[in-house]
Structure 1
Amino acid sequence: MTTPTNPSTNAPAAGGDATRAESGSPAPSPNGATGAATPPLVARRGWEGRYFEDFAVGDVYDHPLGRTITATDNTWFTLLTQNTARLHFDQHYAAQTGFGRTLVNSTLTLALVTGQSVTDVSQNVMANLGWDEVRLPHPVFEGDTVYSRSIVLGLRPSKSRPDVGVVEVRTHGYNQDGDEVISFRRTLLAYRRGHGPQPPALPPLPDSSTAR
């Protein structure tokens, strides 16, 4: 299940401009003597997700986090969505089916793999436009661990909104054995850089001699 990725687009964002809080005087050593100055604090920007300009057709993103689906996950999701298919919560019933055991709710698999892709694909999304071509080639069972990757299929400017662009990706989910358990095509509106909502600015860093 190894596909080369584009290191220029699949790597975390660079540190960017750093904000330093310089200490005005050397910090005292534990025994009270004045020693070398405490290294300055450095604020580095974390991963902020991709904007429309950051995508390129053909990019492949191997999403970093896998997730083991437990029986509790399956039961709670089935209850939450009012799904009455006994195959997902009745072990006696499920044992009599061709699967022989409880099957993970397929819409849980869809939700999980979509969520796994957000860090790389839609952290800066304005809206999802649709999921198409959903395929479930292999069952998912309680205890399976799901991993995923996405491939950028298409990009185009929005005709009605200059602050966003349309991104199309195909996302694939795999279990721990490398079996493909789901695939789908997703279309979304991604903000252009500088046009999306921004979190509030944090307070300035304190003096490095008193911050630790």
Structure 2
Amino acid sequence: MKNNSFLAVSPGIYREDSGMVYEDYVPGEVVEHRPGRTITMTDNVWSSLLCLNQHPLHIDAVYAEQTPFGKIVVSSLVTFGIVNGMTVSTISAKCVANLGWDKVRLTAPVFVGDTLYAQTRIVSRRESETRPEQGIVTVHTTGRNQDDVPVIEFERTILVPKQGAEQ
């Protein structure tokens, strides 16, 4: 994996550099994404309404109190967006294109006040058959709450540049 977070711009001047190129992705290796992210009611309501998800379980406290959960449950799109977003600076900052997400599973509810953490395992990589300066990488990400309970997992496939071909 990449072990240098800075690029030399000129003598004594460095630029932060995030993301990885094809050669940095080693199948089996794992990246822990930090810091964590505590979910607020604002995150949940704004994102739920932005996505037109008006299910009362996500935005109506009185309704939610009468369900088996007993309180508002954070929308799965909020959970997905935040956990996926936590991976961007490492996993896809240099990505040419997202090719898709697969096997998305919501394994436990997320509540306002929960803090989420993410971890990504490199599943596979292969050179692109049609783009010789790029490769296709698949990763598996798991989001966990503050109690280390997995709340979401998914696979993501991205197209990434090879060393020297990044933009």
Preserved contact between residue 10 and residue 61 of structure 1 (Cα < 8 Å):
no
When the two structures are superposed, what TM-score results if normalisation uses the length of structure 2?
A: 0.94
Question: Per-residue CA shift, 1:7-26, capped at 9, x if unaligned?
Answer: xx264x15554733xxxxxx
2-structure distance, mates of 1:127, 1:107: 21
Preserved contact between residue 147 and residue 175 of structure 1 (Cα < 8 Å):
yes
2-structure distance, mates of 1:90, 1:16: 48
Bigger RCO of structures 1 and 2 (CA < 8 A, at least 6 apart): 2
> Equivalent residue for 1:104?
74
1-structure distance, mates of 2:132, 2:29: 23
Preserved contact between residue 99 and residue 158 of structure 2 (Cα < 8 Å):
yes
Tell me if 1:81 matches 2:72. no
User: How many angstroms does 1:196 deviate by?
Assistant: 2.8
When the two structures are superposed, what TM-score results if normalisation uses the length of structure 1?
A: 0.75
> Equivalent residue for 2:65?
95
The residue matched to 1:111 in structure 2 has which SS? helix
Question: Per-residue CA shift, 1:61-106, capped at 9, x if unaligned?
Answer: 0012211110011000011101121110000111111111000000
> Equivalent residue for 1:19?
10
Structure 2 segments unaligned to the other structure (5+ residues): none
Tell me if 1:57 matches 2:24. no
1-structure distance, mates of 2:7, 2:55: 50
Preserved contact between residue 121 and residue 141 of structure 2 (Cα < 8 Å):
yes
Q: How many residues align?
A: 167
The structure that has the greater radius of gyration is 1
> Equivalent residue for 2:90?
120
The residue matched to 1:132 in structure 2 has which SS? strand
1-structure distance, mates of 2:125, 2:68: 42
> Equivalent residue for 1:162?
132
Preserved contact between residue 136 and residue 159 of structure 2 (Cα < 8 Å):
yes
User: How many angstroms does 1:54 deviate by?
Assistant: 1.0
Q: Identity of paired residues, percent?
A: 42
CA RMSD of aligned residues (A): 1.5
Structure 1 segments unaligned to the other structure (5+ residues): 1-8, 21-41, 198-212
> Equivalent residue for 1:172?
142
Task: Looking at secondary structure, tell me which structure has more helix per residue.
Answer: 2
Preserved contact between residue 91 and residue 101 of structure 1 (Cα < 8 Å):
yes
CA 1:128–1:16 in structure 2 vs 1: closer, same or farther (change >3 Å)? closer
Question: Per-residue CA shift, 1:135-178, capped at 9, x if unaligned?
Answer: 11110000111000100000001111112110000000011111
Tell me if 1:141 matches 2:111. yes
